[in-house]
Amino acid sequence: MSAEPESWRPKLALASASPRRYALLQQIGITPDIVLPTDIDETPLKGEKARALVTRLSREKAAAALRVARADPALKDSFIIAADTAVSVGSRIMPQARHVDEAANCLRLLSGRAHRVYTAVVVITPKDQVRQRIVDARVRFKRIAGPELEAYLASGDWRGKAGGYAIQGLAGSFVVKLVGSYSAVVGLPLYETASLLLGDGFPMHLTWGNTI
């Protein structure tokens, strides 16, 4: 029996402008039909912990994208994917580094110690059912010597990154140990995302035969 044509696949909207999340979806054979970046305030609430933050923000991103998608006839039956990632040391949430001093402060705090990376993924189905998973990974950095830190800061690889680093970038050389999902630390937990999509009938395997 021949496979169903790819045109049967429902559309999928990614509620993120992150090229990393887009590439991670492509890694498992899914190319979003549209990117719907959201403009929401990502400032943690007073006393809010990292797990609660990513839970809230991923839902807010998904809801904002849903409003746009459902107003477009071409996307009214689409799946929505949103995610949010936070880095924390103890109860302290690390910022998304915008300035070199901010990145330096983050890396000095992370140097030689363990931290946690929380990523929440939300899938909204064509019937507007909301599914969510939260993934907790533990990462330990080596002690980052002064010259190495200076070289890293000069690279600019820290810009806009939670905690001042991206594990898939130059800072991957700082990682002594990772317990949990690598893809979640990058920005989208692939196992959980695939499970959510498959559980609600998204035919993500349709194009796998054409990827080799």
**Exactly one of 33, 41, 77, 84 is catalytic; which is it?**
84
- Taking only the tens place, the pLDDT of each residue in 50-80 is 999 999 999 999 999 999 999 999 998 999 9
Structure tokens at 59: 């839902």
Query: In CATH, what is the architecture of 6-210?
Result: Alpha-Beta Complex (3.90)
pLDDT above 80 (res 3): no
Cα four-point dihedral sign 46, 141, 98, 186: negative
Q: 6: pLDDT confidence band, cut at 50, 70 and 90?
A: very low
pLDDT above 80 (res 207): no
Q: 210: pLDDT confidence band, cut at 50, 70 and 90?
A: low
- Taking only the tens place, the pLDDT of each residue in 68-121 is 999 999 998 999 999 999 999 989 999 999 999 999 999 999 999 999 999 999
pLDDT above 60 (res 4): no
Residue with tokens 């887009």: 22
Q: How long a stretch of residues is the chain?
A: 212
Q: Is 101 a catalytic residue?
A: no
Domain ranges in the chain are: 6-210
Class of residue 61 by CB neighbours under 10 A (exposed 0-12, middle 13-18, buried 19+): buried
